[in-house]
A and B are shown apart, each in its own frame.
Chain A
Amino acid sequence: MKRDFKMRLTKNDKKDLDKFTKFLALKATEVIVQSRLGEKVSTPCKPHANGPDWFNLNINDLPEVVIEAKKVLNSELLLTRKFPFCIEISLRTAEGDNMVLETWCARLLPEQCDPSTTNSQTIYNRMGILLKSLVSVTRVTPAYKLSRRQGPDSYVMCYRMYMDEPLHHCLGEGSKQIRVGQICTPIGTLQLSCAYRTKMTISPTQTSRDNSIMLKSDHFNTNLSPKNRRYSQSDDRTSSLSETMKIGAFADRKKKHFEEPQLDLPFCTFFADRISLNDHQVDSEPQSLATSPENDRLSGNGVPEESPLRGEGEKNGNDVAVEGGKQQEEVSMASTGDDFIMVDLKTPFAKPSGEKMELTKFFREWQQAPLLETFKDLPPVEVTDLQKQLETYESDMQEFDSIVSSFCQQSSPNNN
């Protein structure tokens, strides 16, 4: 049946069909490539044009695309080829990584032919519809949105044409396929389809064509990357820092030990902890930090900047501890709150030891100004204030409620 029909297909019809198919492939290439340039396309209607455009559709011709497409098609007709014609769209990052996003594929299925369609004009019109479908579909695949956001600093879109079976494995796992459309012709069904990537995570080892190059390169070896190195180098410090933060001023275990003479010594818990850690005596004698000869030795040698701090703190601490009582405890709690995490207080370019550090001293003095005699006997101000405030708030409760409800009323019409 098929053979009979093919014989009935006139030479002219066959020639027309060949020509239509070739131009369909060329125009489809233009549509696909231009849709990935990153710009909106707008071509005018030409109601009074002299010569008709192919498929009565105004598709711009980019010369370089035509040249590339013709190279691949190479004046050989799509119909005589066994292999499909593919256009591959890929993304190339500024770093040079490639990721294939989609493969558009035009193929002829000779086994499915339609002997009834002999009119070449009908085929031509259907090709026009197929091209329109292609224009519509190119705007809705994921690569379109990516192409609109491309730039030389981030990534650019690239295209490649080839005559072969489409390389679907390049599209990664979970790739999807769209059948744009097909045209039944006397010599077979012409089919246009697109397979596209759905997982957009770029992974150099996955997408690189030549794995050996990537394997040689240590650039992507996470163990050797500078970022990782930096972290591994600072591992000790971060762990010690986190330890210090964990055993903070509010930790119950430590609180008891530091309540007495060093309460007003800001950050004293931090220093104490560091010392204890270094000394492997976390729980043994933190209480004796300020006075024990062991800690003196450590402050003098290992952590030189702590020695002046300790002296200052001790002085202030004595003053306060004798005079203050409960109130002072609050002061110290506030000063060692979460707002500050100062571990080392090592000023840049400071001399390592011996001399007192002016900046640190100044900071301590400023923060730990001694309480003036006048205010010692006053009742705690905060308590009375709080009570008063609570009372006023309670009395004004209705007013607050009305304000809130008025806000609700105002916002609800806007939502609609």
Chain B
Amino acid sequence: MNARSQVFELTLEGRQADEAVTSLFHTVLFHRCLGKFLYTNESSYSVSTVGFTDVDCDFIDLTYVCCSSNSLARTVKQEVSNFSEQLRSNESSGMGQISLEFFQKKPSRYLFLQPECIPWEVWTVRLQLITLDNELERQECREKVGNHLTEKIVYITEVMNRQDYLPKMPSRSEVDLVFDTSFVDVQPYLFKFNYSITGPSSGTSVGSTMRKFIKESFNL
């Protein structure tokens, strides 16, 4: 099965990186989070309520919505910060990408092997950092990035409302193969983050592209 893949490309200042990525990923996660499942027996369950919170960006003219879950927000923040720190470090060329990947687990046929992770939806944000000279340019960039993110958020909602594949609602014994049940207040589909930074010297060589291609082929 091929995973659906969406790629967003953004050019922005280093200090905007965290908020730009977070706003997109939280919008996606808001749609991909359900309330906690409370099973009454193996196959029937009730779903609790998800709350939401408006978040104003500091460096971008944008307000986005995320689930009212501190633990989820912490997870996202931690991953995005790790990515942006590397992206903004001196060793970086200022280009990099981070992906939010939704997957489901498939129990292995062999008991001693880990369950296989099968991604079904991948959201990738590619960033290119720029340096601005003055406040006027910063103000323009602040508005421009806000407008770009607005377009992308509208696009996310469009994708979310297509009647595409979603994993089936699991029975009690299989809930952990589909959902991440580690959060106390929300229950997102299983997800993970991947990121890569383009080093200053490497660029996109044929070798690295091939390596990536082969690696991804094996993953899928």
Contact = CB atoms under 8 A, between A and B. Distances in A.
Interface residues of A, number: 38
A160 interface: no
Contacts of A136: 27, 30-31, 64-65, 153, 156-157
Interface stretch (A181-189, A303-311, A340-348, A356-364): A181-189
Nearest to B88: A416
A41 interface: yes
A114 B163 CA distance: 11
B8 interface: no
A44 B157 CA distance: 22
A121 to B, nearest CB: 8
A181 B158 contact: yes
Contacts of B63: 40, 139-140, 144-145, 148
A171 to B, nearest CB: 17
Interface stretch (B42-50, B79-87, B106-114, B188-196): B42-50
B3 interface: no
B35 A129 contact: no
A43 B68 contact: yes
B118 interface: no
A126 to B, nearest CB: 7
B154 interface: yes
Given A140-B153, A181-B158, A42 B51 contact: yes
A118 to B, nearest CB: 14
Contacts of A114: 163
Interface stretch (A14-22, A50-58, A99-107, A235-243): A50-58
Contacts of B34: 56
B56 interface: yes
Contact of A180 (B51, B157, B163): B157
Interface in B92-129: none
Contacts of B36: 47
Contacts of B30: 132, 135-136
A132 B67 CA distance: 10
B68 A145 contact: no
B54 A56 contact: no
Interface in B139-168: 149-150, 153-154, 156-158, 160-161, 163
A137 B64 CA distance: 9
B16 interface: no
Interface in A138-160: 139-140, 144-145, 148
Interface string B45-83: 011111111101000011111011100000000000000
B186 interface: yes
A66 interface: no
A415 interface: yes
B175 interface: no
Interface string B11-55: 000000000000000010011001110000000001111111110
A140 B53 CA distance: 14
A181 B48 contact: no
A56 B49 contact: yes
A179 interface: yes
A49 B36 CA distance: 10
Contacts of B50: 45, 56-58
Nearest to A135: B65
A130 interface: yes
B184 interface: yes
B49 A129 contact: no
Contacts of A49: 48-49
Contacts of A415: 131, 133
B49 A180 contact: no
A170 to B, nearest CB: 22
Given A47-B48, A47-B185, A52-B48, A137 B157 contact: yes
Contacts of A184: 163
Contact of B49 (A41, A45, A126, A182): A45
25 contacts: A40-B53, A40-B56, A40-B63, A41-B52, A41-B53, A42-B54, A42-B68, A45-B67, A45-B68, A46-B48, A47-B36, A47-B48, A56-B35, A57-B50, A57-B52, A126-B161, A129-B160, A133-B160, A136-B30, A137-B154, A139-B63, A140-B154, A145-B61, A181-B161, A416-B131
Closest 10 CB pairs of A and B: A181-B161, A133-B157, A45-B185, A43-B51, A58-B51, A46-B49, A40-B54, A140-B150, A42-B53, A53-B49
Given A56-B35, A415-B133, 6 more contacts: A44-B51, A47-B48, A135-B30, A136-B65, A139-B65, A178-B154
